[in-house]
């Protein structure tokens, strides 16, 4: 047991050192993303509004990295979480879903808002309240009733969080939740699940143990290293497979001589 613990600690430390190097390598000049078309969607969904923006390119790199995992056989069920709140996980999940849906083989994607406490998916999509995961897990709505899509976004479906239940942990750890993941895995090429942060509640750890991969979102210059370490430890204890980290809040310096190519 001691060897396993030491191995986890070493892997965590190496990961944090790598993240710290990335943060320090960035020089500060903020990039402004322009909302190039009219839509109810939040302007932070840059993969929709400005696919050629520098930030959009980073999501394309993330997509490429995911698609290349396991020699081109990537995990189909992926949870997106963070250590604490306000690190940009929902925005990252949405931009990743949009970018994945634009892949050359046009995979079918479903994005689930599994934050049954403070779901934000509908706010970012500019959509009104509707039945969602909560109602499905309580037997109040069918899968067909909670799945929805947007007219101008192809190959991408959504499931909202639904009404806030009194027992989110019990619902997310239930047999219907596990069965839903299996059902959607068979129906879609990728199932992305936006979860609550790891440290405040156990929801993300529960979901992380039932998916093939977990992406941990970290806000540069804001999230404390100890928080990231603890989040990784909690996910590891549940045997979650952390497939990568998404660094948000990074400001890029773009040399003038390459700007014309962007």
Q: How many helices (H) and strands (E) does the chain have?
A: 13, 7
- For residues 87 and 248, is the Cβ–Cβ distance under 8 A? yes
List pLDDT tens digits, range 16-55. 655 565 445 443 344 444 555 668 899 999 999 999 888 9
Evaluate the CA torsion angle 118, 160, 68, 179 in order and state its sign: positive
Residue-level pLDDT at 14:
61
Residue whose structure tokens are 């490429």? 64
4: pLDDT strictly greater than 70: no
List pLDDT tens digits, range 232-258. 999 999 999 999 999 998 765 555 544
Residue whose structure tokens are 């947007």? 150
- For residues 230 and 242, is the Cβ–Cβ distance under 8 A? no
Residue-level pLDDT at 238:
95
Residue-level pLDDT at 104:
85
Residue-level pLDDT at 182:
98
List pLDDT tens digits, range 161-175. 999 999 999 999 999
Please state, in angstroms and rounded to a whole number, the distance separating the CA atoms of residues 84 and 82. 6
Average pLDDT over residues 111-131: 97
Residue-level pLDDT at 249:
86
List pLDDT tens digits, range 67-108. 999 999 999 999 999 999 999 999 999 999 999 999 988 999
List pLDDT tens digits, range 173-225. 999 999 999 999 999 999 999 999 999 999 999 999 999 999 999 999 899 99
> What's the Cα-to-Cα distance from 241 to each of 58, 115, 208, 218, rounded to whole Å?
22, 20, 8, 17
Lowest mean pLDDT among 104-118, 122-136, 239-253: 239-253
pTM of the model: 0.85
- For residues 204 and 172, is the Cβ–Cβ distance under 8 A? no
- For residues 235 and 216, is the Cβ–Cβ distance under 8 A? yes
- Which tokens belong to 53? 């923006």
Query: How many CA atoms lie within 13 Å of 159's alpha carbon, on the beta-carbon side?
Result: 30
Residue-level pLDDT at 207:
98
Residue-level pLDDT at 261:
41
């Amino acid at each position: 047991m001691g060897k396993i613990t030491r191995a986890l600690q070493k892997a965590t430390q190496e990961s944090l050192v790598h993240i710290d190097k990335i943060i320090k390598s960035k020089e500060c000049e903020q990039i402004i993303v322009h909302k190039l078309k009219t839509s109810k969607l939040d302007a932070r969904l840059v993969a929709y509004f400005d696919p050629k923006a520098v930030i959009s390119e980073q999501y394309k790199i993330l997509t490429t990295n995911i698609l290349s995992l396991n020699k081109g056989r990537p995990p189909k069920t992926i949870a997106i979480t963070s250590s604490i709140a306000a690190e940009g996980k929902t925005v990252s999940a949405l931009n990743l879903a949009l970018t994945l849906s634009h892949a050359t083989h046009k995979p079918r994607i479903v994005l689930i808002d599994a934050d049954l406490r403070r779901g934000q998916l509908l706010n970012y999509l500019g959509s009104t309240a509707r039945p969602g995961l909560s109602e499905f897990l309580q037997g109040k709505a069918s899968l067909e009733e909670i799945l929805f899509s947007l007219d101008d976004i192809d190959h991408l479906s959504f499931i909202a969080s639904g009404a806030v239940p009194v027992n989110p942990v019990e619902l997310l750890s239930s047999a219907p939740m596990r069965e839903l993941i299996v059902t959607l895995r068979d129906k879609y090429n990728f199932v992305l699940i936006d979860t609550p942060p790891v440290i405040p509640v156990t929801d993300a750890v529960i979901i992380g143990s039932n998916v093939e991969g977990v992406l941990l979102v970290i806000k540069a210059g804001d999230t404390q290293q100890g928080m990231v370490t603890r989040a990784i430890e909690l996910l590891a204890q549940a045997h979650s497979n952390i497939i990568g980290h998404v660094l948000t809040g990074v400001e890029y310096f773009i040399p003038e001589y390459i700007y014309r190519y962007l």
